[in-house]
Structure formats: structure tokens, C-alpha cells
Amino acid sequence: MASTVSFLHTADSQFGTGFGTLPPQVADLKRTSQREGFSALVQHAIREKLDLFLLSGDVFDTAHPAIADISFVKKELERLETAGVQVFVIPGNHDSSGPGSLWDQYGPWPGHVFLSPGFTSVFLADQDIEIFGMGFDRSHSSDNPLAADKIVPKTSRSILLYHGAWQNFGRELTRDYPFSLADIEKIPCNYIALGHYHAYSVVLDRPDKKAVYSGDTEGLDFSANECGLRQAVQGEISPEGQVTIKPVPIKSLLMEYLELDVSTYTLAGLDHAIQEKADARTLLDVQLTGIPSIELFREIPVIEQACRHLFLFFRIIDRTVDVQVNDLQKAQTYQGLYYRALKDKLAKATTEEEKTAIRQALQIGLAAFQ
């Protein structure tokens, strides 16, 4: 009788990412953390003696990664193979397959890399499970191969690796191999290891079938999908085809974002909100909106300097100038007149020093009106 099959699923490591929104020295730390996180997942799979290691696309951020990144990935995958963990990889939209691709140029690769533009499979007879995957063909990425009923497992247990865009998210509906929940429900596989979206997300959760985006291994920027804890998925498929999963946290450098309406904050309250996120491994972007009190307005320029030591990276983006534009643009009030007069001065200002002074005057004036 077949035994339980265990696996670890990850995706979207995107080695070679520039982290261009960060200072160079911080970007270097993020690249180091990116490698450390991936190595930790490899070590976890070896330590737990898992059967399979699944990489669901975008191992690299580019079709032309640095040799150092390629060598690193190969060595990590070799570690898995040496330990008896079988590796399965699909390309994604960033590191797509095809003639002359990096997968051709720098092969052979440890494990099995699915490069065919259509679904192919590997049957593991000793574990009675079949693994399906396909390459990422940019010229046909508007197609939906899941709708073609081409996946026909030869056994009662199977896994599909797929890099594509779930239509429920409301974007990318005509590219990057879009699919619907109905497509996933009819796929005759026990586990669908998804890649492409960078936040952990369960698309389908049934006892006998699960479809999951693992998310990426290192937050790339301060957008919603990149902030917060990064994790992989560890799972098991029982001899009867029942699937259980659990998250595996990745010790990455955490990206965090706060948008704070300073109209409702005292200086002490703002300081508390920021310090709640304080951590030496956290990168924090804070956007301030609203109309600050006079007390708070005076302190905004020094808050960033005062809190910088609490984080690996800390930045304040002051958007308090941009509040209530729709209300004040036509308002026949002293506040409206003041707002329009200073916005006109700001538009005509020719030096950065003059613009800064006008922005500050605008903030102070609006706060005073409040």
C-alpha cells in the first residue's frame, strides 16, 4: 500500500531582484536575506525528510539572471537531491521557458524542470503519485490551458504545478495564463501548487483537494502583497488522497506599510503607532495624511530621524498637504481661498527651497483652520 507523500511548496523567489526603491546598502541586505530564506526552506525540507520540493515559477526575476544567482539555486537544489528530496520546477512569467531560455542555456538542472509549453508529467511509481507541470510560453500566456481538460492522471494521487493569474483577484484577466475557480475545481489533482501572486492565498480548500499560492520568499516592496510575513506551504497527501497543509514561516526582512491620518493623532499617539512596529529586521514605510495639529506639524520633520534607529529601514512620506483637495478646490470659504492661493503659489515656485516653504505654510494654515 502507498504511504503518505509529503511536500514543500514555494514560488516567486525572484533571485536577481534589484530592490530599487531601497538604498543600495539596504538592497544588499535584502538580497542576502532572500538567499538565506531560500536556504532555510531547503534545510527544512531535508530536516523534515520531505518527499518533494515544489517550485512554482519565477525562481529568477529575469530571463537573464546573474551567474552567481544561477549557481546558488543549483547548489541548493543539489542539496535536496543528495538528501533524497525530489525536486520539481516550472518556469514563470519572469523566467519563462522556450528555445534559448536560461533553462536551456544553463542546464542540466537538478531535479525535473517542466519546459514543454503543454502539460507533461512524471510518475513516481514507488510513491504512487504523478506530478504535472508546464513551461511558461509568453507567446501563449493569454490562453487558459486548465480549461482544455488535458490533465488525466494515471493514478489516484497527483500534484499540479501552475504559474498563472487567478481571475478572482480582478486583474490580469487576459494574460499570464488566467484561470477561474471553476477551472481549479475540475482539475483531477489533489494539490495545485500555484505561483505568480506574492501573498499567501488559498484558492480552494477541500479535504481531497487544495489549491494554494504560497507567496514569495522575500517581500520585494511596500505594496500590500509584499508586506507582512513570508511563508511556504508544507503538506501531505494520504494514501486515500486526503490533503493537509500548514504554513512554514520564512525568516525574511519584513516589509511593513502604515498609512496614518494625523488628523486623529497626538504626537504621543503617532509615536506609539510607529514604535509598535519597531524591529531591527523590519523595513517600515509610513505615509501621513490628514491635517496635523500645530504641535504635530512642528514635529513631523524630526520624527523620521528620531525613529530611524528602531528599524532596518524607516521612511516617512508626508502627504498631509494633499488632503481635502476636492472640498477645498471650489469651496467659497476663507479656508478654500487660502488653499487655492497657496496651491497657485506652489505651482509657480521655481526653487525647491521656495516649494518647501509654501508646503509648510499650507500645512500650518490648514491645521489652523481645523
Q: So what's the pLDDT on residue 293?
A: 75
Residue 169's closest CA among 213, 228, 138, 233?
A: 213
DSSP classification of residue 20: T
> Which alpha helices (H) appear in the chain, and where do they start and end?
24-47, 67-82, 102-105, 181-186, 267-275, 294-307, 325-330, 334-348, 352-369
How far CA 291 is from CA of 94, 260, 304, 320, 321, in Å, comes to 42, 11, 18, 6, 8
Q: Strand pairing partners for 129? A: 124
> 289 with 315, same domain?
yes
Q: Which domain holds residue 311?
A: 254-369
> 209 with 264, same domain?
no
For the chain, the farthest-separated pair of C-alpha atoms sits apart, in whole angstroms, at 82
pLDDT in tens, 116-171: 999 999 999 999 999 999 999 988 888 899 988 889 999 999 999 999 999 765 55
Query: Percentage of the chain surpassing pLDDT 90?
Result: 73
> 244 with 260, same domain?
no
> 177 with 241, same domain?
yes
Q: So what's the pLDDT on residue 322?
A: 57
Q: Are 292 and 300 in contact (CB under 8 A)?
A: yes
Q: Strand pairing partners for 357? A: none
Q: So what's the pLDDT on residue 365?
A: 79
Residue type, 336: G
> pLDDT-derived band of residue 258, with 50, 70 and 90 as boundaries?
very high
Q: So what's the pLDDT on residue 171?
A: 55
How far CA 216 is from CA of 120, 128, 219, in Å, comes to 25, 29, 7
List the single range of 69-78, 102-111, 149-158, 355-364 with lowest mean pLDDT.
355-364
> 81 with 159, same domain?
yes
> 232 with 269, same domain?
no
> pLDDT-derived band of residue 325, with 50, 70 and 90 as boundaries?
low
> 245 with 276, same domain?
no
Q: So what's the pLDDT on residue 218?
A: 97
> 299 with 197, same domain?
no
pLDDT in tens, 212-256: 999 999 999 999 999 999 999 999 999 999 999 999 999 999 999
Query: Percentage of the chain surpassing pLDDT 70?
Result: 96
Q: So what's the pLDDT on residue 1?
A: 56
Residue 321's closest CA among 365, 351, 353?
A: 365
Average pLDDT of the chain? 91
List the single range of 2-6, 32-36, 176-180, 335-339 with lowest mean pLDDT.
335-339
pLDDT in tens, 279-310: 999 999 999 988 777 778 778 888 888 999 99
The span from the CA of 62 to the CA of 98, in Å, is: 14
Among 250, 270, 294, the domain-final residue is 250
> 42 with 119, same domain?
yes
Q: What CATH number is associated with residue 108?
A: 3.60.21.10
> 108 with 142, same domain?
yes
Q: So what's the pLDDT on residue 328?
A: 73
List the single range of 56-65, 169-178, 254-263 with lowest mean pLDDT.
169-178
Q: Are 197 and 159 in contact (CB under 8 A)?
A: no
Which residues, including other chains, have CB under 8 Å from residue 286's CB and lie 6 or more apart? 257, 258, 259, 260, 274, 314, 315, 316, 317
* Grid coordinates belonging to 305: 530621524
Helix, strand, coil distribution of the chain in percent, nearest 5 = 35, 25, 40
> 47 with 193, same domain?
yes
Q: Are 267 and 295 in contact (CB under 8 A)?
A: yes
> pLDDT-derived band of residue 329, with 50, 70 and 90 as boundaries?
confident
pLDDT score of 327 more than 80: no
Among 213, 235, 250, the domain-final residue is 250
Count: domains in the chain:
2
Pairing of strands 86-90, 112-113: parallel
